[in-house]
Amino acid sequence: MSLKRKDFLGLYDASAEEIKEILETAVAMKDILTRTVKKVPTLRGKTVINLFYEPSTRTKFSFNLAAKRLSADVMSISKSGSSIAKGESLLDTAKTMEVMGADVVVIRHSAPGAAQFLAENISASVLNAGDGAHAHPTQALLDIYSIKENFGQIEGLNVLIVGDIAHSRVARSNIWGLNKMGAQVSVAGPQTLLPREIEKMGVKVYNNLDQALENVDVVNILRIQMERQESGLFPSIREYREIYGMNKERLQRIGKKALIMHPGPMNRGIEIESSVADSSQSVITEQVKNGVAIRMALLYLLAGREVDNENLN
Amino acid sequence: MKTLIKNAEVFDPRNDLEGKYDILIEGKNVIQISENIKNQGYELIDATDKVVIPALIDMHTHLREPGYEDKETVKTGCEAAAAGGFSAVAAMPNTNPVADNPAVVEHLNLKSKEALVKVYPVGSITQGSKGEKLSEIGTLAKTGVKALTDDGNPVMNSEIMRRAMEYASAFDLPIIDHCEDKNLSKDGVMHEGYYSTIYGLNGIPAASEEIMVSRDIVLAEMTGIHLHIAHLSTEGSLKQVIAAKKRGINVTFEVTPHHLILTDKSVGDYNPDTKVHPPLRSKRDVEVLRKALKAGEIDVLATDHAPHTFEDKLGEYDYAANGISGLETALALLYEYFIKNNDISWNELINMYYYKPAEILNVEAEGIKKGSTADLIIFNPARSWTVEKEKFKSKGKNTPFAGYELSGKNEVTFVEGKMVYDDRGGKNEVLY
């Protein structure tokens, strides 16, 4: 099994078949995570470098763990504490990664297109762990995986993404991926946090959360950044919570079958009430676990291209 | 020594030239133009199947000197102009220091003396182009500036713009404005629309330009100054300018080749060479501008030649510099996209890229006639070539048109009777 590509930069150019393949591989990976010995030798001798230009706790940790579970040599480079902070250009960093013998470089960067730039300048596989508001394919894949785990399928489901769509790579990657898998995606938020012509991506657009919540199967709630309020995109945290916060009343209205998701980290009591986050319908902690499985699957499919399949067993 | 250009297809609408002519040049001037001039030992240039037109005037060029000599110098910028088929360029004032005082303009004038093409200095509207205090506009006028602009860092304060227009009117200088409401464009790096949404890049709404076009038109009407809108790029801006003209307001505008050819979709590979202000606009905007071109509604074509170093354009799109190096592709692109298929004629091109810019800048443009200054080019419409940015004379290799295959090219440029560029047989030589 392998992906017929060097890099994995987003779901915008991934086919439904590729997404299915990744999801299936992740099932096997999740199985490994439930064993007593949670490690396989699949990527022994392979080098994975996590190159993080943006602060990240969860994603970096998740990629680290995923690489270690597959026995790869893994190194993490963050913006502080390395030459990146000294203004080394992405090109030079790429060249350094190259000579260090990286097989996969996982990159997180605030600039859209940074992962593509790296991919064009390095022979190692590049895995996009988030580039600005552009793409965050592993997050979307773990979201899709979590949905499929609960419903058995994606096709025909109504998935609502709530919050700051404009600045969200998670939303964009989810829209691409879910659309390809046959879901109907909607987005809801204040108009100031919805990007121009988002409807052309094939989503329904709502400014009214209560209308958007009718007939939903999945509600994916995005983190609201406090700086958006400061830059005048909405008037106050209090008002945001009132109008776009997922609370107990709204949870009751959507019914027991609907799934609650959040990519984290959550602002409890703002975009999501604790009673919602911790409800039986919430799969937020399971998402974290699925994230490791998805990243293992992608590392395997990219770095393990020539690795024997049997190693998985 | 006399030079005879033989058997050329000559165009010049104001001198009623459209057809086969021979042109004889002596010293700085055209001394004869007629259907058949006998070669009496002249330097002969066979221009059979080639087109001769007045050399173009680019009224929007960044020569970068002083201050940014790593991007371009007067020398290299003028070489690029010569290669592109221009005999003159207007140099934008956003140098370092800004051309807001006679010293900087005189420095440019001095450098221009040795340059291959004519350079018309443009002064800044405000000191340091900071939009706060007026530059010494009267003094700048004396040093020979042909227009005023804070291009690149537009005047946001409407009161300052009003006073600039009022004050400048005494010196008969047009105000050129780069129309951009910087609060609206903020941290935008491309046109705001569907493509900025899917590429995840911050958008610059069309409104950012249109609001300032609107403001400037109101102020131009109030003050009576000649307002020239630089690099107009949206449908909304176009509509406003055309309506303003109908009302009799003294406003003109220019459009760049890149805004007539490329759309925001081409930002998709995150190639920093597509990053430019104003940004490449939507398909709709491009279609509307093309329609206006065809309808003869566009006053001026101009490159907004904005050279940058390799490093300025390297890496992440967000951090790359804005601008396109345009002098060496402009004419060939216009030929490829609009002249070849008869959207516009050579005569229309000459009006938009020679007579009208000269009129706005109030500089000489006699065209091709007996006694006129011999500023002309020989364009080969059957010269297929590929845009190779490494071959640019400009220091700025930043072009989104690299690799484009074009079917016509400027081969010879004459400035004041002297051949300054020769690309016959692919020589690609500048001549001092």
A194 Cα to chain B: minimum distance (Å): 9
B178 among annotated binding-site residues: yes
Pick the CATH number of B2-52+369-430 from 3.40.30.10, 2.60.120.260, 3.10.450.50, 2.30.40.10: 2.30.40.10
* Whether residue A149 sits in one domain with residue A128: no
Query: What string of pLDDT tens digits covers the 432 residues of chain B?
Result: 899 999 999 999 999 999 999 999 999 999 999 999 999 999 999 999 999 999 999 999 999 999 999 999 999 999 999 999 999 999 999 999 999 999 999 999 999 999 999 999 999 999 999 999 999 999 999 999 999 999 989 999 999 999 999 999 999 999 999 999 999 999 999 999 999 999 999 999 999 999 999 999 999 999 999 999 999 999 999 999 999 999 999 999 999 999 999 999 999 999 999 999 999 999 999 999 999 999 999 999 999 999 999 999 998 999 999 999 999 999 999 999 999 999 999 999 999 999 999 999 999 999 999 999 999 999 999 999 999 999 999 999 999 999 999 999 999 999 999 999 999 999 999 999
* Whether residue A173 sits in one domain with residue A68: no
Cβ of A195 and B315 within 8 Å?
A: no
* Whether residue A266 sits in one domain with residue A144: yes
Per the DSSP assignment, residues forming a β-bridge with B21 are B8
pLDDT reported for residue A307: 52
Cβ of A112 and B201 within 8 Å?
A: yes
Distance, CA of B180 to CA of B399 (rounded, Å): 23
Q: Is residue A7 part of a domain?
A: no
Q: Is residue A300 part of a domain?
A: yes
> How many C-beta neighbours within 10 Å does residue B67 have?
13
Burial level of A79, CB count in 10 A (0-12/13-18/19+)? middle
* Greater model confidence, A228 or B7: B7
Q: Tell me which of B181, B216, B304, B375 is the catalytic residue.
A: B304
Among B154, B103, B142, B101, residue whose Cα is nearest residue B123: B101
* Whether residue A292 sits in one domain with residue A154: no
Do residues A186 and A203 make contact, with C-beta atoms less than 8 angstroms apart?
A: yes
* Whether residue A297 sits in one domain with residue A160: no
* Whether residue A303 sits in one domain with residue A262: no
- The CATH class of B55-361 is alpha beta
Task: State whether residue B187 sits within 8 Å of chain A by CB.
Answer: no
B231 among annotated binding-site residues: yes
pLDDT reported for residue A293: 98
Q: Is residue A260 part of a domain?
A: yes
Segments forming the whole domain that contains residue A87: 16-136+288-312
**What amino acid occupies position B94?**
N
The CATH number of residue A242's host domain is: 3.40.50.1370
Two tokens, residue B193:
């629309």
* Whether residue A193 sits in one domain with residue A303: no
Q: Is residue A112 part of a domain?
A: yes
Distance, CA of B65 to CA of B307 (rounded, Å): 11
pLDDT reported for residue A163: 97
Name the residue with tokens 């773990």. Answer: A142
In the predicted structure, residue A313 carries a pLDDT above the cut 50: no
pLDDT reported for residue A85: 63
Cβ of B200 and A117 within 8 Å?
A: no
* Whether residue A125 sits in one domain with residue A23: yes
Helices (H), B266-424: 283-294, 330-334, 346-350, 356-361
* Whether residue A213 sits in one domain with residue A200: yes
* Whether residue A125 sits in one domain with residue A33: yes
Domain ranges of chain B: 2-52+369-430, 55-361
pLDDT reported for residue A221: 98
Average pLDDT, stretch A102-123? Answer: 95
A137-151 vs A58-69: helix crossing angle, rounded to 10: 70
User: Which chain B residue lies closest to A175 (C-alpha atoms)?
Assistant: B198
* Whether residue A296 sits in one domain with residue A234: no
A231: pLDDT confidence band, cut at 50, 70 and 90? confident
B193 Cα to chain A: minimum distance (Å): 5
In the predicted structure, residue A2 carries a pLDDT above the cut 80: no
* Whether residue A214 sits in one domain with residue A83: no
Q: Is residue A9 part of a domain?
A: no
Tell me the ipTM for this assembly: 0.92
Domain count, chain A: 2
Cβ of B314 and A112 within 8 Å?
A: no
pLDDT reported for residue B54: 98
Q: Write out the residues of chain A at the interface with chain B, using a CB-CB cutoff of 8 A.
A: 12, 89-91, 109-114, 116-117, 131-135, 169, 172, 195-198, 200-201
In the predicted structure, residue A88 carries a pLDDT above the cut 80: no
Q: Is residue A120 part of a domain?
A: yes
